[in-house]
Amino acid sequence: MLELNNVTTYYGNIQALKDVSLIINEGEIITLIGANGAGKTTTLMSISGLTPPRSGQIVFEKNPIHGLNPEKIVRMGVSHVPEGRRIFPFLTVLENLDMGAFLRKDKDGIRKDLKYVFELFPILAQRKHQAGGTLSGGEQQMLAISRALMARPRLLLLDEPSLGLAPLIIKQIFSIIEKLNKEHNTTIFLVEQNANLALKIAHRAYVMENGNITLTGSGHDLLSNDAVKKAYLGI
């Protein structure tokens, strides 16, 4: 579904990604783990067009998407939930969700998807007229995911959904990620600091260090890999 071939991305003179290559097959949950500053966020931003690569190819469903603007990439079926949630704090929950669907014209489909996200996260239905900024951190994360889902993505990019949330809320969000994958046929690319949880739900995983992919394998295999255990699982 998605292929990165030798992608390099820079911020000015700083090279954040060095020849990154990876593959995501339709229907998979893939996780990318790594230390702070390894280049995980930049990988997602390169895919969604927010920080376009300087060289290399990014191919989504056989179409090259490197060099396309972010709006076009969303239209093709790739939605990005950025780190730190970035919902619109002064808009209501409903207005935030409308923003997620702003590229769509199919009113019936939008209504159906709204019903779907309210079933996934009933708390958002209860708070639909409340300003986004008044929600708790967990609820804002639910809103950020739901807003991305309103674009009806086939590939969902999630950047650190667990960041700053209580364990119970993290558990709830991870179970929704699995549900989206299994029941809604959404392919997931998950960037996480919480390597333990992420590897548990991932079909496959990549490890990133200093802008390079250094290791790949099934989530299960990486959980028992000694180097991963030492560096990312604190075991």
Compare residues 13 and 108 and give the one whose CB is closer to ligand ATP. Answer: 13
**Going residue by residue from 180 to 199, which x/- string records binding to ligand ATP, judged by CB under 6 A?**
-------------x------
Instruction: Tell me how far, at minimum, the Cβ of 62 lies from ligand ATP, in Å.
Output: 27
Instruction: Tell me how far, at minimum, the Cβ of 83 lies from ligand ATP, in Å.
Output: 6
Residues 6-45 touching ligand ATP, rule: CB under 6 A, are 11, 14, 16, 34, 36-42
Instruction: Tell me how far, at minimum, the Cβ of 228 lies from ligand ATP, in Å.
Output: 16
Residues 37-96 touching ligand ATP, rule: CB under 6 A, are 37-42, 83
Compare residues 27 and 137 and give the one whose CB is closer to ligand ATP. Answer: 137
**Is residue 226 classed exposed, middle or buried when 0-12, 13-18 and 19+ CB atoms within 10 A define those classes?**
exposed
Strand order across the beta sheet in which 29-34 lies: 78-81, 155-159, 187-191, 29-34, 204-209, 212-218
By rule CB under 6 A, what count of residues binds ligand ATP? 13
Compare residues 96 and 140 and give the one whose CB is closer to ligand ATP. Answer: 140
Residues that bind ligand ATP (CB under 6 A): 11, 14, 16, 34, 36-42, 83, 193
